[in-house]
Amino acid sequence: MSLTLSARPRSGARPWRLTAAAGAALLGLLTGCSDSGGGEVEAAAIDRLELMAPADPGGGWDSTARALAASIEEAELAGSTQVTNVGGAGGTVGLAELANERSEEFLMVMGLVMLGAIETNQSQATLEDSTPIARLTAEDEIVVVPADSPYQDIQDLVDDMKANGRAVSIAGGSAGGTDHILAGLIAQAGDVPIEDLNYVAYSGGGESLAALLGSQVSAGISGVSEYAEQIEAGELRALAVSGAERVEGIDAPTLTEAGLDVELSNWRGVVGPPDLSDEARQNLIDLVDEAVQSDAWQERLELNDWEDTYLSGDEFDAFLEEEQQRVRGVLQDIGLVE
């Protein structure tokens, strides 16, 4: 019988420790119990789950990681959970860190944003350095402006982009991410030369929101949930949403309704470290499968207006391969990569 040790190579790492499965095996050796038959020793599949949000606090990945961690704890699916933030470069800094992760009880939140960032940043770390686990949610994007902005609708914004080019600035998440892609598609659909698009990238939703509220930028793009509170409070005005249908509670048309042939939805999921054993991969898939069925997770879906687009295992793996090709094509079309 072999025992699996897991370590964390980063600075401030914890000492070597036994995984839950290895601990059960060791206990069996010491007590003479086996993992089958009489005297069976059972151990939880996940002992101490760590979740990384590869972005600064305040954005969609951060809120997803914390919602998933809280749901797992409330459903008692893991002994404990811990969320950490590793921001920078559209999640590729966190992805590079994941590539060196050796724990089998570790998940990183990711999504459409990261696929674009890998391309535009020419990241050495890619999704080949991870193990796909599951797609969780999708969320419409929204275009907003400060409450005192002269833009009353999305066409006003597009017209000003055409007339004044880079004097019109649009805040959003990391370069090459979903927000940037949507800004490029809006410019393309509105006949704005792509070189005139002035997109200002921020690593966290809190930073882009501060820029908007401080009138440092002309407009902003993000997930609906990140701006919903400020829209309701009258601090921001919604111009359009990016999905196929209007969003309940948001007084704004879809981009298509507003005359721009653009439709986009931002999805988020989780991946594990590279080179997981089949057993460890299945443990993580089973954990997330159970978590998304819990009442705690369903309540958070409703609270955040997240669309349930759950897809796990091999199906998510196949989806990721197709999505990488699609994103690369879109980025080429709007001139963000060659």
**pTM of the complete model:** 0.73
pLDDT, tens only, 315-337: 999 999 999 998 998 899 888 88
140-265 shares the fold of 15-139+266-333:
yes
Q: Which residues pair with 240 in a beta bridge?
A: 143
| 140-265 topology per CATH | D-Maltodextrin-Binding Protein; domain 2 (3.40.190)
pLDDT, tens only, 197-223: 999 988 767 888 999 999 999 999 998
Distance CA 51, CA 224 (A): 23
The residue that leads in pLDDT, 27 or 80, is 80
For the chain, the domains span: 15-139+266-333, 140-265
CATH number of 15-139+266-333: 3.40.190.150
